[in-house]
Amino acid sequence: MTGRAAPDPSGALVLGIDVGGSTTRVLVAGLDGRVIGTGRAGGGNPVAHGGPAAAAEVAAALRAALTGVDPGAVVAGVVGLAGGTVASRVLAGVWPAAGLRVLPRLVSDVELAYAAGTDRPDGTVLVAGTGAVAGECRDFTPVRFADGHGWLLGDRGSGYWLGRTAVSSALTTLDRTRAPGALPPFAAAVVAALTGATPPTGGPDAVARLRAAVIGAAHAEPPVRLARLAPLVLRGAAEGDPDARQLVERAADHLLTTLGTVRAPDSTRPVVLAGGVLVPASPLTEAVRTRITARWPAASVPLAAGTAGAAAWLAARPLGVPGTLHRRLVGAPD
């Protein structure tokens, strides 16, 4: 997918790339903030997809963004992704193959998320998607982290945590139930989403079979895949289901604890919220924001916006660009 605009009169371009586990986004812009090209492809994280496949996806998104554009006009670039050390080796051949004369600078996904929410250099960022991590940023660079330990050791309050806890809660409910038809709505929805079938009718024998099916389904795929149940939890909470709402409140408590690990009690700096479960209209976002406002009443709590635009802005920032560039690039569709 590509988009075009008239080039910057100066001719200088900047490149921003957000390499995610499921999507790679590229944005090329002039120093006045006009978007020259955009590209999108599949996940390009080499840890998740392997080196050759990841490099191919990044290259595809880059080609789309540079269609009709002189790659030699790109004077700076930033690539945001997790696992930068591995990625720098994997992606080393992508840049010259695309005709770039500059080597894009790699930054962490946490730094990119922070820049996608604010142009203030110092503050904190809370990212909750499949995993969860908080970072304290100085001059946009994370200098301290909390959580981000992965599904086995942490990621409390994340999409994975919501999914795993929802399954655990449903199993506890099953243990206390004598007939599948007696399951409350939220537990029944979790069971159906995991097993692909609505709970059958019957007595204790049917409960035992259903319990085994849920356990088997949960163990039949990589544990992190339980994050796919997070939207079900958020939807249930938004619709007022008390069990789903309780899980969301617990997740918000975990995320605030993680944030408080890296954020000073008297800080007035911004808190950027980012990630797939901290999005507009999410009950988890609302719960987290309420807690942040109560604990740090002077802090602004923006949501991260266009990450590829934020990467382009980070690339342009050392070049003495106008103060309005952040708003223009971060707000640009990518």
pLDDT tens per residue, range 136-145: 999 999 999 9
Q: CATH number of the domain at 196, please.
A: 3.30.420.40
**259 domain residue, yes or no:** yes
User: Alpha-carbon distance 34 to 28, whole Å?
Assistant: 9
List Cβ neighbours of 293 (8 Å cut-off, separation of 6 or more): 299, 301
Do 255 and 319 belong to one domain? no
Residue 314 within any structural domain of the chain: yes
Given this model, what pLDDT does residue 88 score? 76
pLDDT of residue 48: 67
Measured between alpha carbons, how far is 164 from 155 in angstroms, rounded to an integer? Answer: 11
Same domain, 34 and 134: no
Q: Does any domain span residue 1?
A: no
In-domain check, residue 3: no
In a domain, 185, yes or no: yes
Q: Is the domain of 137 the same as that of 200? A: yes
- Exposure of 178 by Cβ count < 10 A (0-12 exposed, 13-18 middle, 19+ buried)? exposed
Domain that holds residue 134: 121-304
Q: Same domain, yes or no, for 182 and 112? A: no
The single-letter code of the amino acid at 313 is W
Cα dist. 20→66, 82, 236 in Å? Answer: 19, 8, 27
Tell me, yes or no, whether 57 and 161 share the same domain: no
Instruction: Please check whether residues 94 and 53 belong to one and the same domain.
Output: yes
* Residue-level pLDDT at 10: 59
- CA 58 from centroid of its chain's CA atoms: 18
Quick count: other Cβ atoms within 10 Å of Cβ 266?
7
| Phi and psi at residue 215, to the nearest 5° | -60, -45
Q: Helix H segments across 176-265?
A: 185-195, 204-219, 230-238, 242-262
C-alpha to C-alpha distance for 192 and 11, rounded to whole angstroms: 56
The C-alpha atoms of residue 133 and residue 262 are separated, in whole angstroms, by 10
CA dist 245 → 113, 166, 249, 286 (Å): 27, 11, 6, 12
175 alpha carbon, distance to own chain's centre:
34
Closest C-alpha among 169, 168, 117, 131 to residue 258 = 131
The reported pLDDT for the residue numbered 2 is 43
Measure the CA–CA gap between 243 and 190, rounded to whole angstroms: 11
HSE, CB side, 13 Å, CA atoms: give it for residue 263: 26
Per-residue pLDDT tens digits for 26-66: 999 999 999 999 999 998 777 667 788 888 999 999 999 99
Shared-domain flag, residues 49 and 132: no
0.85 exceeded by pTM: yes
In a domain, 4, yes or no: no
Does residue 101 belong to any structural domain of this protein? yes
At residue 84, the pLDDT reads 64
Sign of the alpha-carbon dihedral angle for 293, 297, 299, 300: positive
Amino acid at site 226: L
pLDDT under 70 in the chain at which residues?
Answer: 1-10, 47-48, 83-86, 180, 200
Residues 221 and 210 placed together within one structural domain of the fold: yes
100/107 Cα distance (integer angstroms): 18
Answer yes or no: do 138 and 246 share one domain. yes
Residue 44 has what pLDDT? 78
Angle at alpha carbon of residue 130, lines to 127 and 131, rounded to 5°: 55
Within a domain: residue 7? no
Q: What is the DSSP letter of 198?
A: P
Work out how many domains the chain is built from and give that number. Answer: 2
For 254, list phi and psi in degrees, rounded to 5: -60, -45
Side-chain-side CA neighbours of 222 within 13 Å: the count stands at 9
Are 310 and 294 within one domain?
Answer: no
pLDDT at 334: 74
Structure tokens at 110: 């946490």
Residue 90: the pLDDT is 81
What is the maximum alpha-carbon separation in the chain? 75
Which secondary structure element, helix H or strand E, spans residue 38, and what is its range? strand 35-42
Q: Answer yes or no: do 137 and 228 share one domain.
A: yes
For residues 322 and 307, give the distance between their C-alpha atoms in angstroms, rounded to a whole number: 19
- Count CA atoms within 13 Å of residue 117 on its CB side: 28
- What confidence score (pLDDT) does residue 8 get? 47
Same domain, 265 and 126: yes
